[in-house]
């Protein structure tokens, strides 16, 4: 993903509002499986 000045968190939030629950779970699952860094971010130590 390239860093564009036109992309904002609000844009992401609005895009995710239109995503169903199952698709969001699949996205999180894929991110978790992709790398150790993602796993540490998604499930930080308490």
Tell me the pLDDT tens digit for each residue of 1-46. 556 667 788 988 888 888 999 999 999 999 999 999 999 998 888 7
Please name which of 40, 34, 29 lies closest in space to residue 1, comparing C-alpha atoms. 34
Q: pLDDT value at position 21? A: 92
Q: CA-CA distance, 15 to 46, in Å (whole number)?
A: 30
Q: pLDDT value at position 26? A: 94
> Whole-model pTM?
0.60
Q: CA-CA distance, 29 to 34, in Å (whole number)?
A: 9
Residue pair 39/32 in contact by the 8 Å Cβ criterion: yes
Q: pLDDT value at position 5? A: 66
């Amino acid at each position: 993903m390239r860093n564009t000045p036109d992309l904002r968190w609000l844009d992401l939030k609005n895009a995710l509002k239109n995503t169903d629950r199952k698709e969001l779970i699949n996205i999180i699952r894929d991110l978790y499986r992709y790398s150790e860094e993602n796993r540490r971010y998604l499930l930080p130590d308490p």
